[in-house]
Amino acid sequence: MSVQKSWSELQTMARAARLVIETLDLLEAAAVPGATTGDLDRIAQENIEKAGARPAFLGYRGFPATLCASVNEEVVHGIPGSRKLREGDIVGLDLGCILDGFFGDSARTVAVGQVSPEAESLMTATRGALLAGVEVCRPGQRVGDIGHAVQSHAESRGYSVVREFVGHGIGTSLHEEPQVPNYGPPGRRERLVPGMCLAIEPMVNAGVPDVEVLGDGWTAVTKDRRLSAHFEYAVAVTAYGPWILSEPYPYAELEAEAAHA
């Protein structure tokens, strides 16, 4: 069971989540043909440290960078370096920070220049699968309902979901209980309660769901080398519904109404 966060803890979680999103905005703008994934990593580290936070992935189990940058058939955990982005690439940007003791963790896949309709469609479906999962984050639902919603969305569009990597609880640790798979039957696993914070992060493949890890020990690629996309938000379960922590709290009016009813 993930730790239920207090209101003030959620405020700190939200600041960490916003810093990650603001940094991803900078990286998306910088992901142009000719830029290297190492360039993006430097921008990420500088922006996080400028805000008084620290990179969450740098040194995590020995990961050597601030950013995970996963190009085309790379699913997750790509190591930034001298690789130059090319027109038509898609690049998954996964970034975490720790701010005042709480973690932010978010990912998005972005287009480098003009990309194929197939790549656009995969990215749209993956982001849609994430939002379908977020929508389920309400008290009384179960963790399995999230995975079921994600999988249904992706597969109904002809794609497959990766099984080897999962979403997770998030808070004072980067990875807390429970695990949040992107697949499986509804009605199973932990029940969602207000104050739970979950990082939901579908990885969706154009072809087969299978992945393998390259010789660097980190970079996961699709077994068939077809494209993969990855989107992630940290979400709080509230009494009123899901709160994507990088967005303004959406239920202030509802709360005020309830208080005066």
Binding site for Mg ion (CB under 5 A): 94, 105, 107, 199, 201, 232
Measured CA to CA, the distance from residue 5 to residue 21 in angstroms comes to 21
User: Which residue stretches of 103-142 are H helix?
Assistant: 117-135
Spatial CB neighbours of 160, under 8 Å, sequence gap ≥ 6: 154, 204, 205, 207, 208, 209
Residue 216, both tokens: 């660097």
Is 110 or 199 the residue whose CB approaches Mg ion more closely? 199
User: Which CB atom, from 9 or from 105, has the smaller least distance to Mg ion?
Assistant: 105
Beta strands in 45-133 (DSSP E): 54-55, 67-71, 74-76, 90-99, 102-111
Q: For residue 232, how far is the Cα from the chain centroid?
A: 2
Nearest distance from C-beta of residue 246 to Mg ion, angstroms: 13
Shortest distance in whole angstroms from residue 56 CB to Mg ion: 8
| Least spacing, CB of residue 141 vs Mg ion, in Å | 20
| Closer CB to Mg ion, 104 or 128, in the complex | 104
Q: Tell me, what amino acid is at 102?
A: F
Nearer Cβ to Mg ion (199/227): 199
Q: Residue 221 Cβ, how far from Mg ion at the closest point, in Å?
A: 17
